[in-house]
Structure 1
């Protein structure tokens, strides 16, 4: 299923109705229906162009931010490469001797790179998708059913909390791993009994 990030509105340019009075008759007398439809269509085309312009502004703004972040990262990497190249040229392998004991005394290298966590969250959501998300219907009031639950858990959390689904998936994976380990243990025991 496609995930809509941006929607250009109005979708139907020429679709429109005249306001009706209490009797169901047109409230406004239109001298020329063709002129009325043309004016309405033109107004909706202008609204579509405005919506398109807004989305283009958001899109190019996000692209500019990504490009700026990329340039910053590339500059930081180039600086690190330059410092490393300077250190390498200053090294002299004939002068400095390192004993094997000194090598084993040093701590192992540990990377200081911080990995992104929770990449798919509201903070990283594009602006267009955030607008679509906020336009969605609110979840049903399942928390009103909490007094009737036997397990004491929040009913709404079962359907709206992404952490719940992660925990559910993690429990299933742990069960599968335990089952595989038990199966391996049974097979190993069976083979040992034959020898």
Structure 2
């Protein structure tokens, strides 16, 4: 299923890049989102497949931090790209005559790079926070997937501030893109009606 998923996503990227009719901003964002999906799947699924073969469902602390970083980068990037895509559709439907003026390729590149920058900063913040926690020696997490909440539960540090930080950052990096998507589609629906 993993290979079928990767192949399907690669076919989307190949179709967009090979057909000149699809060289529009909407398909530019779709290609970026598709590539992000490949990266997100690849940051988790190969470890799970190895664990299923070896019947060993544990991950070392170092591997956990690496996996946590990449999963957070690609998850936040996906949220941001979906918000940017919703804004693109909002401009295309609600302001069609000014679409090419507002959504020019330069702005789209900046929005994509800004989304990547936000996701890297978020992942670095969480990864550095986890590195500050104290654990017993030779920590192994008994899962194939390294989840931030599980790591914090395993630590001997005071977790209150870390939990507050997680909720604040989740509200910002999850809530803002989600509200932007809802805002865009509410305006699109009202414009269509």
The two structures have a TM-score, normalised by structure 1, of 0.27
Which structure has more relative contact order (CA 8 Å, sep 6+)? It is 2
Q: Larger helix proportion, structure 1 or 2?
A: 2
Bigger Rg, which one:
1
